[in-house]
Amino acid sequence: MTESDPAARRQELSVPPGSVESGGPPRARVGHSRGVAASNARDALVVGRGVPAYLLRVTILVVGAAIVSVPLHAGVTVGTLVVLLPAVLASAYAPASPAPAGVVVVAAVLVTLGGGDPLRAEVLVLIPLVHLFHVACGLAGVMPARGRVHVSAVWVAARRFLLVQAAMAVLVCIAALLPTGPTAQVVEAVALVGLAGVAVLVIQLQRVR
């Protein structure tokens, strides 16, 4: 074929772009690439759902501030500002560290040092606050600060929180109805057996997991 052959020249120009003969990518490959791009776009939308994980750390700070206010209201100032407040800030910075456990222990000790009725308002308020603080730190500890957490995971933790608090409310009501005088030995024996049964149940549940 020579350059002066008009028929061959027209045949060469009639080859559609994108075909194998024209040297471009095959149409099947182009369609496959578009399908992969669309699939990746759908996957990106699924991965991006949820709420920012840093909101968990904000929750830790808010709940921690409420926990700090409880012993302050009870009149315990030095231990609260020197020990409890730094532990709360450390928990927000590193929720997977031992700092959250320190917050729980220190808050309980400080409220106990305040004295008074075991079922007083400070104690009843501190129970759900400490539990919520523990749950928020547990979720934030397994999530990167710049990640996202699915609402379903938060809902599972919230449901457990509500169940535990409901059981705690029942126990508080039972404790409020108990007599304040000397306890009979039979009641103490039953209580010890019940505590032993709870301990055995917890151990069995841990083995199953």
Q: What is the pLDDT of residues 129-146, one digit of tens each?
A: 999 999 999 999 888 878
Q: In degrees to the nearest 10, what's the CA dihedral of 177, 182, 185, 189?
A: 40
Task: Yes or no: say if 64 and 88 are a contact pair by the CB < 8 Å rule.
Answer: yes
- The model's pLDDT over 28-81, given as tens digits with 9 standing for 90+, comes to 454 555 555 555 544 443 445 677 888 999 999 999 999 999 999 888 888 889
- Model confidence pTM above 0.75: no
Q: Is the pLDDT of residue 85 over 60?
A: yes
pLDDT in tens, 142-190: 888 788 888 887 888 899 999 989 998 888 888 888 777 777 778 778 8
- Torsion angle of the four alpha carbons 103, 106, 112, 113, in this order, in degrees rounded to the nearest 10: -140
Max alpha carbon distance in the chain (Å)?
Answer: 119
N-term to C-term CA, the chain: 79
The band of 17, judged by pLDDT with boundaries at 50, 70 and 90, is low
| Mean pLDDT of all residues belonging to the chain | 78
Residue 163, token pair as written in the block: 């169940």
Helices (H), the chain: 6-13, 27-47, 54-73, 78-79, 85-93, 99-113, 121-141, 151-177, 185-208
72-83 confidence digits (pLDDT tens): 988 888 888 999
